């Protein structure tokens, strides 16, 4: 489990493949994701990329100004089931 925004940033920016995969696959609570979004806006795409990110976080990211972030949100299987985001 990812326990802080700083841990996620470290994992995501790491050159270690295992760290990179943890950033993509491990869970974090909603408050951590929202902190990453607020403190590290350049990593919003990678928050949306995480396989376990909660729907509430995806809803926040679905309104992002960056088309890449919105595209990643829209490509999530979870979103296809949720008409609120389609």
Show pLDDT as tens, one digit a residue, over the chain (86 residues): 999 999 999 999 999 999 999 999 999 999 999 999 999 999 999 999 999 999 999 999 999 999 999 999 999 865 555 545 54
**31 falls within a domain:** yes
The confidence score (pLDDT) of residue 83 equals: 46
Q: Nearest Cα to 66, choosing from 80, 47, 45, 84?
A: 45
What is the residue-wise DSSP string for 24-63?
A: HH----HHHHHHHHHH-GGGHHHHHH-TT--HHHHHHHTT
What is the C-alpha separation between 20 and 62, in angstroms, rounded? 23
**20 falls within a domain:** yes
**86 falls within a domain:** no
Tell me the whole-structure pTM to 2 decimals: 0.89
What is the C-alpha separation between 27 and 79, in angstroms, rounded? 18
Range of the domain at 19: 5-80
Give me the number of domains the chain comprises: 1
User: What CA dihedral angle connects 51, 1, 63 and 46, to 10 degrees?
Assistant: -60
């Amino acid at each position: 489990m990812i326990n802080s925004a700083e841990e996620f940033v470290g994992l995501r920016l790491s050159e270690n493949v295992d760290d990179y995969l943890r950033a993509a696959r491990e869970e974090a609570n909603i408050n951590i994701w929202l902190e990453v979004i607020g403190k590290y806006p350049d990593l919003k795409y990678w928050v949306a990329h995480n396989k376990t990110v909660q729907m509430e976080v995806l809803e926040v990211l679905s309104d992002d100004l960056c088309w890449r972030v919105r595209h990643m949100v829209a490509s999530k299987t979870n979103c296809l089931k949720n008409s609120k985001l389609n």
